[in-house]
Structure 1
C-alpha cells in the first residue's frame, strides 16, 4: 500500500449550519465530510484505515518527519551509529544533552497518538457500517488493532509510562488523560495483537500489499513477549512465524534496494512510492542522508568504528568479509563499492578514498534508481531475519542453545558468513547481542537502540547501556545518565496536560 494511498483525512465532528429562516431549505454541503456523512461505505472505511497507516510517516504525513525526526530519535543514541556533528539533526540526542523540548521525541509522541486516535475511530465506527460484510469489518478492525498496538509499542519503549487511550474522545474534559503504568500498556498491546491475529489475513491482494497480516501480528507479538522476557511465549509465537511462508531472500541487498518490496522476507514495511507528480513528494531519502558529499549525498550519519570493526570479523569461508558486510557498509576494502548520484554503476572505494570526509559510510538504501537519485524504496520495520534472530534468542534463554544456533546459522549462511559451531548459552547470548543482531540489522529503524534498552531493563543477564556505549567508544557516552534510558515526556504535553508526570531525572 504505497504512500499515494496515505491520504490523511480529518474525521472531526462539525456543527450543522442552521437556517436563517424557515423559508429556506437546508441542503447538506456535499463537499464537506461530516461524522454522519462519512462512515457509510467500504471506501470510507479504507480511507480511514489508510490514514491510520499514514501516521507511520509522521503525524503530519511528511517524509521529513519520518526521516529527520522519528528515525533520528530512535537511532542516533545507539552504538552502531555516529552522527555528523556538523549537522543539527538529532545532535542533542546523539550527545545525550537533549532536553524536554527536543523535537524528535515530541514527534514520536505526536505521531503515535495520531495513529492511535485514527485506529480508535475505526474501532468505534467501522462495526456500525451497514454496507460492509462482517468479514470485511473484522479484517479492518484487526488491522486497526495491530496498528494501535504498534504505535503503543513505540510509546512504551520510548517513554514507558504513557496515557492509555482506547476510545475516540471529542469531549474536552476527556482529552487530558492520566498516565498508566508500563505494565498496563504492555497488557493492552498483547490484547490488541492477540485479537488482531485472529482476524488478519495471511496475505492481501496485490493492490493492498503492505497492509498488516497475520504474520505481522504474530511477529510483533513475539517481539512484545521478548521485550518482557516472556521467553516461552516468545518462542512459541516466533515458531509460528517460522512455520509460515516467509523466507530469507537469496540476495541480502534486495532487502534495501527495492527489488523485493513486500516480498518473502518482508513482514511489515513503511510504504514509499517515490511519486513526485502533482505536487506529491513521496520519496524515501536514506540514499541522500547516508551517501558521501563526494557522491552528492548529505552524509548525516555514519557506521560507528565499533560496528565496522565488528563487521570485519563476519567472514566467509575464505576469510573475507561476508556479503552482508559488503552490502551494509562502504569501507576501505578492495571489494567495497557504492552507488553515486552522478553514476549509474557502483564506484569502488579506492576510486574516491581521497575525497571522503569520513572513512566509513552506510550502504543500505543507497541504491540509485533514476537519474535524480530519488527512489520509493520501502523501509522495513520487521523482516524475517530479525524474527529468526529473536527466535534464536528465545530458544537460547529457554535452554535450547543447539536449536538456537541452527536459527542463527540460517541468517549467517544467507549472507555467506561461516556457520557457528558449538557454543554455551552465555557465549551464544553475547554472540546474538553484540554480533549477529548489529551486523545483520545495522541502521534498521532503531532496532539496535531498543535492543540495548531491553537488555538494560530486563533481568536476564542485564547489561548497562552506559557500559556498552563506553566499551564500544560511543561519542559522548560520558554524558549518558540513567534518565537517558527513556525519553522525557515532551514539555509541551506537560504544559497542556497537568495530569502528566515527567519521567525521572527530567
Structure 2
C-alpha cells in the first residue's frame, strides 16, 4: 500500500521531530512541519490543535482543482446527476459519468484523500490512548477521532462498491486502525459498515454537545453521520433516532429560511451543523467551495447551470428559489442559481439540520408512520414557503415527495441526488436539456458507474490486492 504507507511515514516524522515550533503549534492551530509527540498529546490544547490541523486538511487543495478537499468528493457526486448541468472546464469527466478507471484522477483522489484523513484520525486516536491525558479528555477527544475515521470510511464504502443493500458480502476498501507499513487486504461491505457503526456509536456515546466551533465534531454531528450511514443500511429506526438527536428534535430552532439569501457562505448560519471555515490567510481560492463553480455573478469558474425541470419544482414564494432565468439564452445555460455566493473566504457547508429533519421524515415513512413523516415534511415545507399546502400523499407518492424535498433542500451541497439513487438502487436518468444526456447509455439501477475501480497505484503497491480486484467492476 504505497500511498498510505508514504503518508503514514510522513506523519510519523512530523510527530516525532522535536522542533522549536511547539509554542506556535499550540497558539495557532494549523498543520506544521515538525511537532513532537509529547507536545501534541501532552495536553488537551495540543490535541485540539492537532484536530484543527486535520480539519484544515479537509478544505485544502489535495492535488488539483477538482481533487482538493472534502467538497471535491461531494461536488463530483452532485454533478453526476440530473438537477445541475455542467458547462465546461473542471468536473467535465464527472459530469459525463466517465471518470472511474483505475488510473484516473477521480479514482485516485477519492481513495487517497479519505485514507490520508483516516491515517490522521488513527494517529489521533492511538496517540490519545497512549497519552497521560485525563480519562475525561481521552474519552471526548478520541470520540472526535472515531467519528472522523468513520466518516471517511463511509465515503470509501460509498465510492468503491455497490450499495450495502445490494450485496453486503462484496469486497470493500481495507480497514486500518493503526499505522502500518503493510497493506491490508480488501474487507467486505458488511465488515466495513460494522466497523463504521461501531466507531460512530462509540463516538456518540463519548461526545457532548460542546465543541470549539462548527468545524469540530460533537455529539450532534456524529449522530448526523450515523443517521446517513443507517439510511444506506436500511436501519430506519436507527436513522430516525440519530437524525432526531442530530438536530435535537428542535424544528423551530433548526430552520432559518432567511439564510437562503446569504449565499451559503457563513458557518455561523444557525442551520449548519458542520462546516469548514475559511479565512483570508487560509483561503480555498477557486478550488474547494461549490460557490466557485455555481455562483453566476462573481468572477470564478461560473460553469454550473440548473436543469430547468428542477427549477420548475420551486414555487415563486419558496425561500430556496434562488434562481435566475435568462431572457436571451434558451439552451442548458438558461437557469443559474445564487444559492452559493463566491468569495475567497466563503465558508463551506458539510451538514445541515434540515437534512436531518428529512432523514427523520423518511425513516418514519419507511417504518409505516406516514402521519409522522408528513408532519415533519410539512413543517419544513411551510418554513421554506409560506404558501405551502400540507400533503395528503401516501405510499409511493409520499416517498417521492420526501426524496424530491431532499433534492430541493440540498442541491449543490452533498450530492444528495446521487446518494439517494445509489442507496435506494434506483437509476439516475437525465432529461434531454442536458449538455450530455447519456441517452444512449443511461444510468440504470445498480449501474457500475455508481462506484469506482480500485486505483492501480494501490494494486501495484499492496501485496494483498491484485488486478483481479477490478474484475467485473
Normalised by the size of structure 2, how large is the TM-score? 0.82
Contact 1:252 1:414 in 2 (8 A): no
- Whether 2:213 is the aligned partner of 1:212: answer no
The equivalent residue for 1:180 is 187
Change (3 A) 1:177 1:361: same
Q: 1:247 aligns with which of 233, 243, 254?
A: 254
- 1-side partners of 2:103 and 2:375: how far apart? 46
* 1:496 pairs with 2:461: yes
Work out the CA distance in 2 between the residues paired with 1:163 and 1:449: 20
* Residue 352 of structure 2 corresponds to residue 362 of structure 1: no
Deviation, structure 1 residue 324: 1.1
User: How far does residue 248 in structure 1 lie from its aligned partner after superposition?
Assistant: 0.7
Q: Quick one: distance in 2 between partners of 1:297 and 1:127? A: 45
Counterpart position of 1:475: 437
Task: Name the structure 2 match of 1:345.
Answer: none
- How far, CA to CA, are the matches of 2:235 and 2:216 in structure 1? 27
| Gap regions ≥5 residues in structure 1 | 1-7, 18-27, 333-349, 368-373, 457-462
After TM superposition, give the deviation of residue 356 of structure 1 in Å. 10
Q: For each residue in 1:363-402, what CA deviation from the matched residue of structure 2 results, as whole angstroms up to 9, or x when unmatched?
A: 22126xxxxxx24232222211111111111111111111
- Is 1:106 paired with 2:76? no
Give 1:381's aligned residue.
Answer: 350
Deviations 1:439-470 (Å, cap 9, x if unpaired)? 111111222211111111xxxxxx333xx446
Question: In 2, are the aligned partners of 1:323 and 1:415 still within 8 Å (CA)?
Answer: yes
1:331 Cα offset (Å): 2.1
Asked whether the 8 Å contact 1:262–1:269 carries over to 2, the reply is no
Q: CA deviation at 1:231?
A: 1.4
Residue 460 of structure 1 corresponds to none
- CA shift for structure 1 position 128: 2.5
SS in 2 for 1:478: coil
* CA deviation map 1:146-168 (0-9, x unaligned): 10011011111111343343322
1:225, distance to aligned residue in structure 2 (A): 1.0
- Which of 152, 177, 180 aligns to 1:167? It is 177
Residue in structure 2 matched with residue 426 of structure 1 by the alignment = 396
1:303 is matched with 306
Partner of 2:373: 404
Distance, in Å, in 2 between the alignment partners of 1:163 and 1:322 is 42
What's the secondary structure of 1:234's corresponding residue? helix
In structure 2, list runs of 5 or more residues that go unmatched. 1-7, 22-33, 162-170
Cα shift at 1:11:
3.0
Query: CA 1:188/1:357 → structure 2, altered by over 3 Å: closer, same or farther?
Result: closer
Q: Is the 8 A contact 2:209 2:218 kept in 1?
A: yes
Report if the CA contact (8 A) 2:175-2:187 is conserved.
no
When residues 238 and 429 of structure 1 are mapped into structure 2, their CA distance, relative to the original with a 3 A threshold, is: same
For residues 247 and 384 of structure 2, the distance between their equivalents in structure 1, rounded to whole angstroms, comes to 19
Distance 1:110 1:254, change over 3 A: farther
Q: 2:207 aligns with which of 179, 200, 207?
A: 200
SS at match of 2:440: helix
Once structures 1 and 2 are overlaid, which stretch shifts more, 496-505 or 375-384? 496-505
Alignment partner for residue 272 of structure 2, among 248, 266, 271? 266
SS in 2 for 1:377: coil
Scaled by the length of structure 1, the TM-score of the pair is: 0.77
- Per the TM alignment, residue 476 of structure 1 is displaced from its structure 2 partner at its CA by 2.0
CA distance in 2, matches of 1:330, 1:113: 39
- How far apart, CA to CA, are the structure 2 residues paired with 1:9 and 1:410? 51
- Across the two proteins, how many residue pairs are aligned to each other? 432
* Greater RCO, CA 8 A, separation 6+: 2
| DSSP-derived class of the 2:292 partner | helix
Asked whether 1:323 is paired with 2:319, we answer yes
Deviation at 1:244, TM superposition (A): 4.6
Q: 1:391 aligns with which of 357, 360, 372?
A: 360
| SS class of match (2:437) | coil
- Asked if 1 retains the 8 angstrom alpha-carbon contact of 2:293 and 2:304, the reply is yes
Aligned residue number for residue 346 of structure 1: none
Question: 2:16 & 2:245 partners in 1: Cα distance?
Answer: 51
CA contact (8 A) 2:58 2:70 kept: no
2:422 & 2:333 partners in 1: Cα distance? 28
Q: Deviations along 1:23-82, whole A, 9 cap, x unmatched? A: xxxxx7656545567533334322322233234225739876138843442222111122
Q: Distance in 2 between matches of 1:233 and 1:495?
A: 39
Contact 1:9 1:51 (8 Å CA) reproduced: no
CA 1:179–1:186: 2 relative to 1, 3 Å: same
Q: 1:493 to 1:72 in 2, by over 3 A?
A: farther
Structure 2 match to 1:121? 123
- The reply on whether 1:437 has 2:410 as its aligned counterpart is no
The question of whether the paired residues in 1 share the 8 Å contact of 2:283 and 2:344 is answered with no
Cα-Cα RMSD = 3.2
Contact 2:15/2:37 (8 A) holds in 1: no
